[in-house]
Amino acid sequence: MSEVTVRVLAEDDWDTYRQMRLAALKESPQAFVSTYDEELAYDEDFWRLRMRRSTRLLAVRDEENLGIVSLGDAQPIDDESDLQVNQRVAELFGMWVDPKARGTGVAWRLVDAAAAEAREQQRTHLMLWVVVDNGRAVAFYSSVGFRPSDSRRPVRTDETLTEMAMVLPVSDDPGAVPNSLNR
Ligand SMILES: CC(C)(COP(=O)(O)OP(=O)(O)OC[C@H]1O[C@@H](n2cnc3c(N)ncnc32)[C@H](O)[C@@H]1OP(=O)(O)O)[C@@H](O)C(=O)NCCC(=O)NCCS
């Protein structure tokens, strides 16, 4: 089997991103806040705007697209959380690996590439939100070094579910503080 490569998509790759995103929403609706039907209706301009707004990373093996993840600015967390974010914290979101490629290291390659991209952007940490009941995702993120934080919030589209923020230090800077990100 050939190596997995991960590349950053350009704006003109919007349709590749769109296809991966729609596949993710169809296959794993419970993992994402948005829905397949909602995003199917978006036009080219919207997808292009999305490409410009965040970094999109695509995992490919033997010319087959196997996984996708996005990287953007982390949004502020409520005042009561110990976990405060700033512009040096990037948020990882929209992580999805095609079921046939799960358990093969593709997800790890995506996180590794996202961490490298975050370092390029002078970020110190990656953070993400994951539904606490998503056992496989929580196990995966833990296995690649993400640490649970005390930040929780209800899932916007289903308030019976809770999301947890997890954090991964990515900086070589020894002054970067992993648990208190507001410095
Ligand atoms: C989350 C995701 C990207 C992880 O990729 P993956 O290839 O499945 O991850 P891996 O198989 O490398 O790691 C998963 C780990 O969880 C374990 N696991 C599997 N199912 C589990 C479960 N229900 N509960 C706990 N652990 C579980 C696996 O054994 C594995 O651990 P191991 O490496 O020690 O064997 C992928 O499963 C996916 O795309 N899921 C659907 C979309 C999604 O949930 N995205 C996350 C949104 S935050």
CATH number of the domain enclosing 97: 3.40.630.30
Residues 47, 98, 121, CA angle at the centre, nearest 5°? 55
57 within a domain of the structure (yes/no): yes
Q: Answer yes or no: is pLDDT of 90 > 50.
A: yes
179 domain-assigned: no
- To test the ligand 1 pocket, which listed residue (136, 138, 141, 144) has its Cβ within 8 A of the most ligand atoms? 136
Q: Is the pLDDT of residue 177 over 60?
A: no
In a domain, 80, yes or no: yes
Assigned token pair, 91: 């948020």
Q: Is the pLDDT of residue 98 over 70?
A: yes
> Tell me, what's the pLDDT at 172?
75
Q: Are residues 83 and 149 in contact, defined by beta-carbon separation less than 8 angstroms?
A: yes
Domain of residue 39, residue span? 5-169
In this predicted structure, the answer to whether residue 52 has a pLDDT above a threshold of 70 is yes
Residue 166 token pair: 């997890």
Q: How confident is the model at residue 85 (pLDDT cuts 50, 70, 90)?
A: confident
| Pocket flag, ligand 1, residue 93 (CB < 6 Å) | no
Task: For residue 75, tell me if it sits in a domain.
Answer: yes
Tokens found for residue 167? 């954090």
Candidate from 30, 71, 140 with most ligand 1 atoms within 8 A of CB, to mutate: 140
Q: Residue 64 above 50 pLDDT?
A: yes
Can you tell me which atom of ligand 1 is nearest the CA of 105?
12
- Res 182: pLDDT: 43
Is 125 within a domain?
Answer: yes
Q: Is residue 177 part of a domain?
A: no
Across residues 68-82, what is the average pLDDT? 84
Residue 45 lies in a domain: yes
Give, using CA atoms, the residue closest to atom 17 of ligand 1. 136
User: pTM score, two decimals?
Assistant: 0.93
Output the CA 24–ligand 1 centroid distance in Å: 14
132 in contact with ligand 1, CB cutoff 6 A: no
Q: Please answer whether residues 127 and 162 qualify as being in contact, where contact means their C-beta atoms are separated by less than 8 angstroms.
A: no
The domain tally of the chain equals 1
Residue with CA nearest ligand 1 atom 15:
140
Looking from the CA of residue 139, the nearest atom of ligand 1 is 16
Closest CA to 40 of 27, 51, 26: 26
Q: With 60 as the cut, is the pLDDT of residue 127 above it?
A: yes
Q: Would 183 be classed as within a structural domain?
A: no
What pLDDT sits at residue 39? 97
State whether the beta carbon of 28 lies less than 6 angstroms from ligand 1: yes
Average pLDDT (113-137) is 96
